[in-house]
Chain A
Amino acid sequence: MDVKKVVKSNAIWLVFIAMVIVFSIANPNFIKPSNLVAISRQVAVYGIASIGMTFVILIAGIDLSTGSIITLVNIVCAYMMVNMGVNMWVALIISLIIATLVGVLNGFMVSTLGMPALIATFASQTVFEGIAYLICGGMPISGFDPNFDLFGRWSLGIVPISAIIMIVCFVVGSFILNKSYFGRYFYAIGGNEEAAELSGIRVSRMKYLIYALSGFFAGLAGIVMLSRTGSGQATAGLGYEFDVITCVVLGGVSVNGGFGKMSGVIAGVLIIGSLTNGMILMDVNSYMQMVVKGVVLALAVGIDCLSKKRQAA
């Protein structure tokens, strides 16, 4: 009985382990430390951004601006460092503040204006992608302070700094969800907004906070990406929101809000990361990879929804 429960609530981890085994058999290079390090470097950007997205989806919202925030941070940070000669730390902090403010703007549209999150964040996605293009004129910006490599290229021993940043973010994310009252509020709002308000939660204020956090984590993901690629590009974050949403939903966060765990999201991020990596090692072409990712998403959510439907009957 209990074993069943444990298996059920951690099914996503079993999927991950099964996948690792399959890929390791298919190509022994998969399990080599150097490849695992590469995977951790690759997933860092999704992983960091997925934390904010988890909060947003937990309250039954959505943030489509994640990808364009990544782009915006890429361009703004690069532009400040290269074209304006701003110190890298200052540029980084200003970029993160801008990313957070984009989130606050999303919060304003969703909470104060009452716009549907899908439309509000889609609008800001378009706007900020456009602004990024306007700043750089479509040209890549490169030639940073070599120390800027810290976030995306350096390692502590064998472990990449970007992976460490991701792990720290996950720890912070789980802490917010499980140990702080904010987490309790998020679950309550996701479960029932009206009842949450009547229980004394200032729902509107929380929505501002959540979208701001989503902006902040997307911004941080943007910094890590910029550091890794070494060049600010106007297409840097294109379509990233969908990969991030996939990780979160795959990790078992209900799109209807109210349910989900940070550990599930970590598994979701690792699955998408190793799936991409494993398929590359197996020489699966990139269009096929898209097909597989889509099918995995549909399967994961489909199975989850079906089991809930069965339970209800």
Chain B
Amino acid sequence: MSEEYLLELEHIRKEYPGVVALKDVSLRLRRGEVLALIGENGAGKSTLIKTCSGAVIPTSGKIRINGKEFDRMTPQLAAENGIAIIYQEFNNVGELSAAENLFLGRPIRKGIMIDRKAMEEEAAKAFAQLQIKIDPRELVKNLTVGYQQMIEIAKAIQQNAQVLIMDEPSAPLTSNEVENMFKVVELLRKKGVSIIYISHRLEEIFRLSDRIEVLRDGEYIETLITRESTVDQLIKLMVGREMTQKYPERKPCIDKNKVVLELKNVCGNGDENMSLKIHAGEVLGLGGLVGAGRTELAEVIFGAAKKESGQMFLNGKEINPRNPREAIDLGIALVPEDRKRHGALLTNTIKNNINMPIYERISSASVINSRTERSNAEKYMKEMAIKTPSFQQHVKNLSGGNQQKVILGKWMAADSRLIIFDEPTRGIDVGAKYEIYKLINSLVEEGRSVLMISSEMEELMGMSDRIIVLSEHKMTGELEKEYFNADKIMTYASMAADGKKEN
């Protein structure tokens, strides 16, 4: 039969009550190739790969591995047939060492005892094979996210994985870690391991993959040879329409005479000496590496973390929000990075999410005015263009982009004047990104202010009016729009703590 293909998914269909998640999707993976799987959120990528591990059972269709045909997989069958998936959440145990994690569930034994030494030696060999430097004795909780991911990969290779499926592997990593991960992927490809690589970041796909399969709305669209395709072409296939512009046009709207938020030497939550000004109608970008202290600063401003010293002024008046409630009442809002954990109330309806910050305002004697509640939900669902039939829908059933819009709608309902975005488009597909950018523009055009944390250089430069860069919990640089330059931002971002631009 088809010797050429190691893994074939044929005409996979998956139905959930009321929804068809996959319609007749096929995928063929050649030996030793990197096949990128792309598509917007909700396109069915994750569902498709989960059929390979047995986490999802297809309604119909066939799975063929090395010519062997299966109707459905189980985790055990997948492992036996050399299929390993690296999910975004790792299965490591923090309290165990790197070596112990590598042999989790199948330790090397000496009699009834665990042979720690042999495991450590084997682990060292496995890590050396992947050219990664991890001390096998180190506890996993002390390792960076990048290394933890490496352990997962090493574990898969140890178990003779022939097919490695990576679901958004670069999402949690810093740019250095991403480089290391790429090296490992290259190495594995040379060793003949076949890889399915899922990512939203098109530049990665162009660097790594041999072929690209595009899904849209649970349907197979096309498979392309990477070196014969272009970014625009991919975006068009994913979105199903032409995307002319990455960042929408914004009307000039900054009022430099109106300082909305001013920080003077604010310390707290690990950050030191933060001094900055945000004007009305301005998007202030906050750049830096992961862990530079940007989220921490956002938490201090939003009252979610304690300010230790320094002063904050909102419209000239000193403020000291002690909790998010007080910050919200002052007109400050936070759209957090981790949407599912901190942003949206997934098990609540859209209506409840949108009204959550203002329930006390729309209640009299603690009884909710249900007409206002409903009309609010309707209004902001429409304004944010949230695509779903009813505001009674639970937020967990929405796509990432729509969830982000619900969070934003909530802050519009609360009439927030300063909105802090922490990685506003993380994990959001290309089409929805553009809509989020448009919403950010409309915010500042209405005279609101935006503080935007972003690790995506292009987004940071494309959306900000001004950029402040942090490094190791200190401010290391500030750039006006006309001087935006990626190299300069990176230099500031990697500047040591004794950075020159300190007050």
- Determine whether the beta carbon of A179 is less than 8 Å from that of B342: no
- Determine whether the beta carbon of A179 is less than 8 Å from that of B345: no
Given A180-B366, A181-B363, the answer on whether A195 and B343 have CB atoms closer than 8 Å is yes
**Nearest B residue (CB) for A259:** B347
Given A184-B355, A184-B359, A202-B325, the answer on whether A192 and B57 have CB atoms closer than 8 Å is no
- Determine whether the beta carbon of A181 is less than 8 Å from that of B368: yes
Q: List B contacts of A192 (CB < 8 A).
A: 341, 345-347
The reply on A208 being an interface residue by CB < 8 A is no
Q: List B contacts of A190 (CB < 8 A).
A: 347
Docked complex Cα distance between A180 and B344 (Å): 21
Highest count of chain B CB atoms <10 Å: which of A181, A192, A199, A259: A199
Given A180-B368, A198-B324, the answer on whether A191 and B363 have CB atoms closer than 8 Å is no
Whole-angstrom distance from the CB of A269 to the nearest CB of chain B?
25
The reply on B399 being an interface residue by CB < 8 A is no
Given A187-B348, A188-B348, A191-B348, the answer on whether A198 and B343 have CB atoms closer than 8 Å is yes
- Determine whether the beta carbon of B325 is less than 8 Å from that of A200: yes
Docked complex Cα distance between A196 and B343 (Å): 9
Residues of chain A from 189 to 248 with CB closer than 8 A to chain B in the complex: 190-192, 194-202
- The secondary structure that dominates the A interface is helix
- Determine whether the beta carbon of A188 is less than 8 Å from that of B352: yes
Whole-angstrom distance from the CB of A192 to the nearest CB of chain B?
6
- Chain B interface size, as a band, is 35 or more
The reply on A264 being an interface residue by CB < 8 A is no
Q: Mark B267-301, 1 if CB is under 8 A from A, else 0.
A: 00000000000000000000000000000000000
The reply on A313 being an interface residue by CB < 8 A is yes
Whole-angstrom distance from the CB of A312 to the nearest CB of chain B?
10
The reply on A182 being an interface residue by CB < 8 A is yes
The reply on B113 being an interface residue by CB < 8 A is no
Whole-angstrom distance from the CB of B346 to the nearest CB of chain A?
7
Docked complex Cα distance between A191 and B394 (Å): 11
The reply on A47 being an interface residue by CB < 8 A is no
Residues of chain A from 249 to 297 with CB closer than 8 A to chain B in the complex: 258-259
The reply on B78 being an interface residue by CB < 8 A is no
The reply on A185 being an interface residue by CB < 8 A is yes
- Determine whether the beta carbon of A199 is less than 8 Å from that of B347: no
Residues of chain B from 338 to 362 with CB closer than 8 A to chain A in the complex: 341-348, 352-353, 355-357, 359-360
Whole-angstrom distance from the CB of B364 to the nearest CB of chain A?
10
Whole-angstrom distance from the CB of A305 to the nearest CB of chain B?
16
- Chain A interface size, as a band, is 20 to 34
Q: List A contacts of B345 (CB < 8 A).
A: 188, 191-192, 195-196, 199
Q: List A contacts of B83 (CB < 8 A).
A: none
Which of B55, B328, B356, B363 is within 8 Å of A188, CB to CB? Answer: B356
Docked complex Cα distance between A181 and B361 (Å): 10
- Determine whether the beta carbon of B344 is less than 8 Å from that of A195: yes
Docked complex Cα distance between A313 and B302 (Å): 38
Docked complex Cα distance between A1 and B368 (Å): 31
The reply on B323 being an interface residue by CB < 8 A is yes
- Determine whether the beta carbon of A187 is less than 8 Å from that of B343: no
Q: List A contacts of B1 (CB < 8 A).
A: none
Residues of chain B from 350 to 405 with CB closer than 8 A to chain A in the complex: 352-353, 355-357, 359-360, 363, 366-368, 370
The reply on B427 being an interface residue by CB < 8 A is no
- Determine whether the beta carbon of A201 is less than 8 Å from that of B356: yes
Whole-angstrom distance from the CB of A8 to the nearest CB of chain B?
11
Q: List A contacts of B347 (CB < 8 A).
A: 187, 190-192, 258-259
Whole-angstrom distance from the CB of B300 to the nearest CB of chain A?
14
Q: List B contacts of A182 (CB < 8 A).
A: 366
Whole-angstrom distance from the CB of B60 to the nearest CB of chain A?
16
Docked complex Cα distance between A53 and B45 (Å): 42
Docked complex Cα distance between A194 and B336 (Å): 11
- Determine whether the beta carbon of A194 is less than 8 Å from that of B366: no
The reply on B410 being an interface residue by CB < 8 A is yes
The reply on B35 being an interface residue by CB < 8 A is no
- Determine whether the beta carbon of A200 is less than 8 Å from that of B328: yes
Docked complex Cα distance between A311 and B343 (Å): 24
The reply on B440 being an interface residue by CB < 8 A is no
- Determine whether the beta carbon of A180 is less than 8 Å from that of B325: no
- Determine whether the beta carbon of B346 is less than 8 Å from that of A194: no
28 pairs, A vs B, C-beta closer than 8 Å: A179-B368, A180-B363, A181-B368, A184-B352, A184-B356, A187-B347, A188-B348, A188-B352, A191-B347, A192-B341, A194-B342, A195-B341, A195-B342, A195-B343, A196-B345, A196-B356, A197-B323, A197-B324, A198-B304, A198-B324, A198-B334, A198-B336, A198-B343, A199-B356, A199-B410, A200-B325, A258-B348, A311-B17
Given A197-B324, A198-B302, A258-B347, 14 extra CB contacts under 8 A: A179-B367, A179-B370, A180-B363, A180-B366, A184-B355, A184-B368, A188-B352, A190-B347, A191-B346, A195-B344, A200-B329, A200-B357, A202-B323, A313-B55
